Amino acid sequence: MKKRVGIIFGGKSAEHEVSLQSAKNIVEAIDKQRFEVVLIGIDKQGAWKIFEQEHYIENDNNPRLIAINDAGHDLQIQFRTDENKFLEQRKEGISQLSSIDVIFPIIHGTLGEDGFLQGMMNILDIPYVGCDVLSSALCMDKDISKRLLLAAGIPVTPYIAIHAYQRNQLSFEKIQDKLGLPIFIKPANQGSSVGISKVENSQEFEKAIETAFLYDEKILIEKFVNGREIECAVLGSSAHPTASVCGEIEIQSSFYSYDAKYINSEASRMVIPAKISEELSEKIRQQSIQAFQILGCSGLARIDFFLTENNEIYLNELNTLPGFTHKSMYSKLWEKSGLSYSDLISKLIDLAIERYTELKKFRNI
């Protein structure tokens, strides 16, 4: 009997369009012999909708114009003490959906990748793909995750964290003295390079601070590391994770921006496997697994590093719901490691159900 997989996509974050691209790829590649897809979209205003499979996305060939179709039926979520269900709202009334066996959340960024959606799935008592509430929240907050990694002895990109209430204390001169130039300024809780700026002077500094604070009440000011961008994908349970081959992002622009990742195919190029020594590759793979376990990850994560000319390795960040677009590094790394895109999706769903079954031994739910 087929498992019913609820794919949740869209959301209110700045990465809405990326999520739609990821969802489209998953729907096209999922093993239809094993899984039946239930499409659940969240629009930019936060309204939940359920869709017929062929009518859920508009302008899907244009990453700038891609959007959720307005034709979806309203979806409500009912919380009761005896059971929690998704309810479909149609013109003829409310009908309860048949059971969803597992959720594949593919909402990148805030309210999807930061533990909020995962917490709701816990309340609904439904297995879901990817990291749990705590690890999702830890990895989303780049300040907290860096602190934990540093405490475990893993070098990270040097940085300073600033809260909104500390904004008046910021001094370009003091930042420059501590971190040098250029620097990068980014929201602490964002992904896909949203809200990030490269800064080389005081004028750019003020504008970058303004931009970063549009997306979060805490921002990071990071030292520029002159190095290659190396990425590694991790798959599996927290107890038994596996690391892929390493890949490299060759950037044609000043840095790996949102546009370079998802819009402009000329701005960057993936090199898989990365052209580094076997010794360095193994070290990065081992650090990826170590970071995955330190932060309590499960299911999947993509770990990003900087590699300097002196072969120093700095962990930049962990992404617990990396992109699944046709350009995304995570699936490409596993494809090069011998796992096809369709099989990767199946593996992630299987891991979600296995983790749920295992946790049932410990939780009184």
- pLDDT, tens digit, 9 for 90 and up, residues 112-152: 999 999 999 998 889 999 999 999 999 999 999 999 999 99
Give 56 or 284, the one with higher predicted confidence: 284
Give 263 or 292, the one with higher predicted confidence: 292
184 a known binding residue? yes
pLDDT of residue 96 exceeding 70, the answer is no
* Mean pLDDT of the region 95-104: 79
Comparing C-alpha atoms, which of 209, 210, 288, 293 is closest to residue 246?
288
49 a known binding residue? no
pLDDT of residue 365 exceeding 60, the answer is no
pLDDT of residue 257: 45
Q: Is 15 a catalytic residue?
A: yes
Q: Exactly one of 22, 135, 281, 328 is catalytic; which is it?
A: 328
State both tokens at 233. Answer: 């994908």
pLDDT of residue 95: 57
98 a known binding residue? no
Model confidence at 361, pLDDT cuts 50, 70, 90, reads confident
Question: Which percentage of the chain shows pLDDT scores above 90?
Answer: 73
- d(CA 180, CA 222) in angstroms, rounded, equals 10
φ, ψ of residue 221 in degrees (nearest 5): -115, 115
Write the pLDDT tens digit of every residue in 58-92. Answer: 888 787 788 898 878 888 776 655 555 676 666 55
225 a known binding residue? yes
Domains of the chain: 3-128 (3.40.50.20), 137-154+226-359 (3.30.470.20), 159-223 (3.30.1490.20)
pLDDT of residue 33 exceeding 80, the answer is yes
Give 95 or 351, the one with higher predicted confidence: 351
Q: Is 257 a catalytic residue?
A: no
SS3 state of residue 134? helix
pLDDT of residue 232: 98
Q: Exactly one of 192, 268, 288, 298 is catalytic; which is it?
A: 192
223 a known binding residue? yes
Please list, in sequence order, all residues whose beta carbon lies within 8 angstroms of the beta carbon of residue 146, skipping any fewer than 6 positions away: 156, 157, 159
Q: What does pTM read for this prediction? A: 0.91
Strand partners, 247: 231
DSSP letter (8 states) at residue 176: H
Q: Which amino acid is at 310?
A: N
Q: Exactly one of 15, 113, 231, 248 is catalytic; which is it?
A: 15
Q: Is 237 a catalytic residue?
A: no
* Mean pLDDT of the region 307-322: 97
316 a known binding residue? yes
Most confident region among 188-197, 317-326, 330-339 by mean pLDDT: 330-339
